[in-house]
Amino acid sequence: LVQRMQGFGSTIFAEMSALALEHDAVNLGQGFPDTDGPREVLDAAKAAIDAGRNQYPPGPGVPELLDAVAAHQDRFYGISLDPRSQVLVTVGATEAIAATILALCEPGDEVVTFEPYYDSYAASIALAGAVRRTSVLRFPDFAVDEASLRAAFSERTRLVLLNTPHNPTGKVFTRDELNLICSLAREFDAWVVTDEVYEHLVFDGGEHVPIATLPGMAERTLTISSAAKTFSVTGWKVGWVTGPAEAVAAVRTVKQFLTYVGSGPFQPAVAVGLGLGDDVYAGFTRTMQAQRDVLVAALRDELGLPVSVPGGTYFVIADVAKLGARDGLAFCRELPARAGVAAVPVSVFHDDEDAARTLVRFAFCKREDVLREAARRLAQLR
């Protein structure tokens, strides 16, 4: 394995899902839902297969999906895009992240991001030979620390990699925090790459603010999202990137040689999903918020753990020190055997592991009865 990929052995999700399987544990580790998404979307994929759409789709994505992504950005955020030049379909958000960083960063360029970070960020930055500079978000509120964010920027900063709503913290960045990021990006003439895969999972009536909608940002922002979370199809791997035409063209150049194209029949199906009514989106958010409330109550009220109540995403972070844990990774490696539940340690998403030594991430994208069963099992740890 090449030097720049040393230390990226196997993802924490694979490790914890394997343990969950081995011990027949309730898997609150890897974030994937246990309920299918909208029927119309699933049926549309079958219809596309039956209609013979089984050969290579066009490189940038099938026209109806390009149109649907542009229409979605306009409908929810008032962002206007030319579907042919400003939208690119990718193999999940994961490919969009990798292709974008590979397209924008020369070896040695710096990428500013927050930690904890989604694990593919560090790996994609490393693949590009770029250098990661991070600012720590601290439990329990995970607020942006202005001084540490500013200190992460330099004349070598090429881009800022943002994620809101944020995995693994569940944090939804505030407008003030986004404005700070904008002003630093402008000051250091950096691109902003924003991962918004949880855009439709913002709770308590909160608002998802795409950074591309802030003044002067559309021309320096590439926005990434995916069908995985919004339509509960994490196995379909349909994502997209939108932004200025020249930047999207650069990402397309890289994407051609990573995967050439994405899976054909799922693309028209995702287009159907993006066209569903506002009530479908709202119902999904409501369901997930109710599931959040079940898991938060179990961890905070029943187990008595300090918890950061997430404003969005699939995830809640708890501090398990009160259960006698001194190390979250060791705790999570034992948890499936000990309690029949799987979770993931937050420290693996950090450069500064001490910032999250006893923090553990639990996923609540599961049916309420499953979450209650997990709660019952976790209660034995008291």
Q: Whose Cβ is closer to ligand PMP: residue 32's or residue 188's?
A: 32
Q: Is 33 in the site for ligand GLN (CB under 6 A)?
A: no
Which one, of 364, 363, 357, 361, lies nearest residue 136 by Cα?
A: 357
Which one, of 13, 28, 85, lies nearest residue 246 by Cα?
A: 85
User: Which of the ranges 234-242, 339-347, 352-360, 364-372 carries the binding residues for ligand PMP, by CB under 6 A?
Assistant: 234-242
Which one, of 7, 32, 29, 6, lies nearest residue 18 by Cα?
A: 29
Q: How many CB atoms lie within 10 A of CB 279?
A: 8
Which one, of 197, 199, 130, lies nearest residue 160 by Cα?
A: 130
Q: Which residue has the tokens 């690119």?
A: 88
11 binds, among ligand PMP, ligand GLN, none (CB under 5 to 8 A by kind): ligand GLN
Q: Is 90 in the site for ligand GLN (CB under 6 A)?
A: no
13 binds, among ligand PMP, ligand GLN, none (CB under 5 to 8 A by kind): ligand GLN
Q: How many CB atoms lie within 10 A of CB 55?
A: 7
Q: What is the C-alpha separation between 326 and 322, in angstroms, rounded?
A: 9
CB of 337 to ligand GLN, least distance (A): 21
**Contact present, 175 and 183 (Cβ < 8 Å):** no
Q: Kindly tell me which residue out of 118, 231, 281, 349 binds ligand PMP, with binding defined by CB under 6 A.
A: 118
Instruction: Please list every residue from 20 through 49 that binds ligand PMP, using CB under 6 A.
Output: 31
Q: Is 115 in the site for ligand PMP (CB under 6 A)?
A: no
Structure tokens at 98: 């990798």
CB of 315 to ligand PMP, least distance (A): 8
**Radius of gyration of the chain measured on its C-alpha atoms:** 20
Q: Whose Cβ is closer to ligand PMP: residue 27's or residue 226's?
A: 226
List the Cα angle 375/377/382 in 5-degree steps: 90
Q: Is 360 in the site for ligand PMP (CB under 6 A)?
A: no
CB of 277 to ligand GLN, least distance (A): 26
Q: Whose Cβ is closer to ligand GLN: residue 13's or residue 77's?
A: 13
Give the nearest residue (CB) to ligand PMP: 92
Q: Kindly tell me which residue out of 16, 19, 20, 30 binds ligand GLN, with binding defined by CB under 6 A.
A: 30
CB of 193 to ligand PMP, least distance (A): 11
Beta bridge partners of 344: 361
92 binds, among ligand GLN, ligand PMP, none (CB under 5 to 8 A by kind): ligand PMP
Which one, of 169, 173, 168, 167, lies nearest residue 206 by Cα?
A: 173
Instruction: Please list every residue from 158 through 197 that binds ligand GLN, using CB under 6 A.
Output: 167
Instruction: Please list every residue from 343 through 372 that binds ligand GLN, using CB under 6 A.
Output: none
DSSP letter string over 18-32? HHHHHTT-EE-SS--
On the 0-12 / 13-18 / 19+ scale of CB atoms within 10 A, 359 is buried
79 binds, among ligand GLN, ligand PMP, none (CB under 5 to 8 A by kind): none
Binding mask 191-230 for ligand PMP (x = CB under 6 A): ----x-x----------------------------x-x--
239 binds, among ligand GLN, ligand PMP, none (CB under 5 to 8 A by kind): ligand PMP
CB of 94 to ligand GLN, least distance (A): 7
- φ and ψ of 173, to 5 deg: -60, 140
Q: Which residue has the tokens 């439990």?
A: 139
Q: Which helix (H) or strand (E) holds 83?
A: none
With a CB cutoff of 8 Å and minimum separation 6, the contacts of 6 are: none
135 binds, among ligand PMP, ligand GLN, none (CB under 5 to 8 A by kind): none
Query: What are the residues binding ligand PMP (CB under 6 A)?
Result: 31, 92-94, 118, 163, 167, 195, 197, 226, 228, 234, 237, 239
Query: What are the residues binding ligand GLN (CB under 6 A)?
Result: 11, 13, 30-31, 167
